[in-house]
A and B are shown apart, each in its own frame.
Chain A
Amino acid sequence: MISPYVIHLLILIGIYVILSVSLNLALGYAGLLNLGHVALFGIGAYTSTLLTMNGVPFVISFLLAGLTASFFGFLLILATRKLQGDYYALATLGFAFVVYSLFLNLTDLTRGPLGIPGIPKPNLFGFVIGSNLQYLLFVAVLVLVSVYSIRTVVESPFGRLLEAMRDDELGLRVLGKNTKMLKYKSMMISAFFAGISGSLFAHYISFIDPSTFYINELILIITIVIVGGIASLKGSIVAPFVIILIPEALRFLSLPSSILGPARQIIYALVLLFILMYKPRGLYGKIDLE
């Protein structure tokens, strides 16, 4: 019998696998340094939560979470289509701040800082995913579907065009390719999977608030992608195991209670630095983050 604690960790890892492969599609393959990915994660979480808690069946809420996030991904590219490089990154970060502000201030809809407690477990056509083991199986299936889908995208001719755009957008345009359309499509696909991972997160943790989808979470997601390696799906699958499990392993170190919290954070940071010193491109990265 697997320990409920291990099951819990595997669920979290599964959710972050979907989140990181989706970000890697935009960042690693399309070259879009999207610092607003955490906002898309949050949009999916809130969409699914609000719909479910107002009587919409989970399956529809779940899909709408992805589609809503995808729509916002479209809007994000629309707003930033003329920006590149660092300016694009800053604009997407601004998007993340705007979305956080909306979560915080649309109190009639989101309850603002108070958050939304009591989010129900998923109900799939009458079957309630009540236990953590059932939830793990559900997440595992979705991880397989997500990874397979994104892998199909990146290994297709479309995926090769994305990589070409990442490496030399001007050159690709000279060849007559519509890079704007590539950006829209890649961002919308990326955002869809971010949205569904948000739905999974909300229905598992059962409580969300705006602070969950802000700077700290953004740093975690970016860290996972960098440690895994840019433009590497394998890296985005392995890295959540490393990033989620290291702090969990640190729980078992017997440290004096007076320094417990800070000591664990320092050790965690040192381990990450150590990894990146030996593997500057991440575990399986093909390119540098520029």
Chain B
Amino acid sequence: MKKQNKKMFWAVILIALVVIFVVFNYVRSEEEERIKIGVTATLTGFGAPWGEDIQKGIDLAVKEVNDEGGIYGKQLEIIYEDISELDLKMAVSAAQKFVSIDKVDLIFTQWAEDNAVVQPIAEENNILIMNIASGSRDVPRGSPYVFMIRPTDAEVTERLVDYIISLNVDNPVMIVEQTPYFESLGALTDEIWNQKTGQNIRKYSASPTERDYRTILTKVKQEGYDVVFVYVLEDNAGLVLKNIEEFGIEALKIGFTGMGDPVVLNVAKESAEGMVYTDFDSSEQFFIEKFKNEYGREPLVTSDLAYDAIKVLAKVMREYGTDTESVKKGLELIKDFPGASGPVTFNELGERTGKEVIIKVIRDGVGVKI
């Protein structure tokens, strides 16, 4: 009897799995037509803060668009798929589900990595991609299917390098976390520095799990560098800045976009004083207030971009149509759309242009525009 119960138990599990697949694979009746957007985002794991912020920005915009009556009477529907810890298998599974089960009209990707594996699937199915949070050059340029709503790292980094050179400081070093984003940013910074000065930047690599930077900083101090680029995730950046102060390294500290976050400053405290970093103009006030009313806190760096992605698409779809070619045309033609993250325009490579990059310095614990 016990054996029979166990067999029954497993038979039930198996049947349940089969039913789920049959039902959702072959029976997809819709009560009403919708415009569907699939989103791959890191909703869990190390990237969760950014993924969740993207989600909140999107949800806020979708609610507004749908309350306005949608697009040609059709409601927007967002289908989120978690790509925890940037698991690329999950990103591929999500993309396959988007195109063959959900039959989405568009896909949003978060970073360059998920974009890399989602893009071939999207292109094969004639579906546009909007990349939300990556300005990395590892997102392929010039593909007619990819648009990037975050300004490019190249534009941001060039501005930063120009500023540093204008200070007449030399002899730089980089501490670079061995993750795709920082590795790419480090290589880009080195290239731009080399183009402008003819020199390269010495690089020290830090493991993603590093918690003690004193070995690296011992070498930095010995070599007597004048500029230290800190390209390390915000969680650890505060620690690096503290260690720099503990070692008495008097070099100019340079951070990337995001180094002005409370996550960094709460750990670094006085050690962050004098740190120079890039930032974008803050989100438009109307968006900050909407976000706070809805979610009870200030937005982080990605939510305004995600919000604008939806708003720009809604405008384009209303004016030009909802099919891929019409949306593509509309995005190419849109100019200075008044977004939460500033005016939105795309160039011929699908890159966002026109968003002002500013240089800030930490004074009395606050980032001040230079």
Are A and B a genuine interacting pair, yes or no? Answer: yes
Residues of A within 8 A of B (CB): 3-6, 8-9, 12, 104-105, 107, 112-115, 117, 205-207, 209, 211-212, 216, 245-246, 248-249, 251-252, 257-258, 260-262, 264-265, 278, 283
Q: Is B205 an interface residue (CB 8 A)?
A: yes
Closest CB pairs A-B (n = 10): A261-B43, A261-B82, A261-B44, A8-B96, A4-B100, A5-B100, A113-B183, A5-B96, A249-B20, A207-B116
A113 in contact with B179 (CB, 8 Å): yes
User: Which residues of chain B come closer than 8 Å to A211, judged between CB atoms?
Assistant: 85-86
Q: Which residues of B lie under 8 Å from residue A209 when comparing CB positions?
A: 88, 113, 180
Kindly state the separation between the CA atoms of A6 and B113 in the bound complex, as whole angstroms: 23
Question: Given A3, A6, A112, A117, which contacts B116 in the complex, CB threshold below 8 Å?
Answer: A117
With A113-B183, A265-B44: A205-B89 Cβ-Cβ less than 8 Å: yes
Bound form: Cα–Cα A21–B52 in Å: 38
Residues of A near B82 (CB, < 8 A) are 260-261, 264
With an 8 A cutoff between CB atoms, is B224 at the interface?
Answer: no
CA distance A117 to B84 in the complex (A): 20
Selected from A3, A105, A262, the residue in CB contact (under 8 A) with B44 is: A262
B residues sitting closer than 8 Å to A (CB atoms) are 6, 9-10, 17, 20-21, 24-26, 43-44, 48, 51-52, 55, 59, 78, 80-82, 84-89, 92-94, 96-97, 99-101, 113, 116-117, 120, 138, 178-180, 182-184, 205, 207
Chain B min CB distance to A283 (Å): 8
Chain A residues with CB below 8 A from B89, complex form: 12, 205
Q: Which of A107, A113, A251 contacts B97 (CB 8 A)?
A: A251
Nearest-Cβ distance from residue A96 to partner chain B, whole angstroms: 14
**Which residues on B sit within 8 Å (CB–CB) of A216?**
85, 87
- Distance, CA A216 to CA B20, complexed state (A): 27
* Contact across chains for A278 and B92 when beta carbons are under 8 A apart: no
Are A5 and B178 touching (Cβ within 8 A)? no
Question: In the complex where A104-B178, A265-B84 touch, is A3 in contact with B55 (Cβ < 8 A)?
Answer: no
C-alpha spacing A174/B140, complex, angstroms: 62
B25: chain A residues at CB < 8 Å are 3, 5-6
Instruction: For A6, list chain B residues within 8 Å (CB).
Output: 21, 25
A57 to B158, CA, bound (A): 41
Chain B residues whose CB sits within 8 angstroms of the CB of A113 once the complex forms: 178-180, 182-183
Assuming A114-B180, A206-B117, is B6 touching A278 (CB within 8 A)? yes
B85 / chain A contacts, CB cutoff of 8 Å: 211, 216
Q: Is A257's CB under 8 angstroms from B78's CB?
A: yes
Q: Which residues of A have CB within 8 Å of B59? A: 257
Evaluate contact between B20 and A112: CB separation under 8 angstroms: no
Query: Which chain B residues border A257 with CB–CB below 8 Å?
Result: 55, 59, 78, 80
State which of B84, B88, B97, B182 has its C-beta within 8 Å of the C-beta of A205: B88
18 A-B pairs besides A113-B183, A212-B88, A265-B44 with CB distance below 8 A are A4-B99, A5-B99, A105-B178, A113-B178, A115-B180, A205-B88, A207-B117, A209-B88, A209-B113, A211-B86, A245-B21, A248-B93, A248-B97, A249-B21, A258-B52, A260-B80, A261-B80, A278-B6
The answer to whether B17 and A245 touch across the interface, beta carbons within 8 angstroms, is yes
CB of A12 within 8 A of CB of B93, answer yes
Assuming the A-B contacts A205-B89, A209-B113, are A252 and B179 also in contact, with contact meaning beta carbons closer than 8 angstroms in the complex?
no
Residue in B closest to A204 when the chains form the complex, CB atoms: B92
Distance of A216 from chain B, by nearest CB (Å): 6
By the criterion CB–CB under 8 Å, are B96 and A114 in contact? no
Q: Name 23 A/B residue pairs within 8 A (Cβ), A-sorted.
A: A3-B26, A3-B100, A4-B100, A5-B97, A5-B99, A12-B89, A105-B178, A107-B183, A113-B179, A114-B184, A205-B89, A206-B120, A211-B85, A249-B17, A249-B20, A249-B21, A251-B81, A257-B80, A258-B55, A260-B80, A261-B48, A262-B44, A264-B82
A residues in contact with B100, CB < 8 Å: 3-5
Q: Is the CB of B96 within 8 A of A207?
A: no
Distance between Cα atoms of A252 and B94 in the complex (Å): 11
Residues of chain B contacted by A114 (CB below 8 angstroms): 138, 180, 183-184
Shortest CB distance A261–B (Å): 3
Identity of the chain A residue whose Cβ is nearest the Cβ of B19 in the assembled complex: A249
Partner of A105, one of B10, B24, B116, B205: B205
Chain B residues with Cβ below 8 Å from A261 are 43-44, 48, 51, 80, 82, 84
In the complex, residue of chain B having the shortest beta-carbon distance to the beta carbon of A252: B24
Q: A282 CB to closest chain B CB, in angstroms? A: 12
| A262 and B96 contact, Cβ closer than 8 Å, known pairs A113-B183, A211-B85, A249-B17 | no
Q: Is the CB of A4 within 8 A of B96?
A: yes
Contact of B113 among A104, A115, A265 (CB under 8 A): A115
Q: Is the CB of B93 within 8 A of A9?
A: yes
Residue of A nearest to B181 (CB): A113
Contact between A207 and B88 (Cβ–Cβ < 8 Å)? yes
- B17:A207 contact, CB within 8 angstroms: no
Chain A: minimal CB distance from B127 (Å): 13
Chain A residue contacts of B21, Cβ below 8 A: 6, 245, 249
Residues on B with beta carbons closer than 8 Å to the beta carbon of A265 = 44, 84
Residues from chain A with a CB closer than 8 A to the CB of B52 are 258
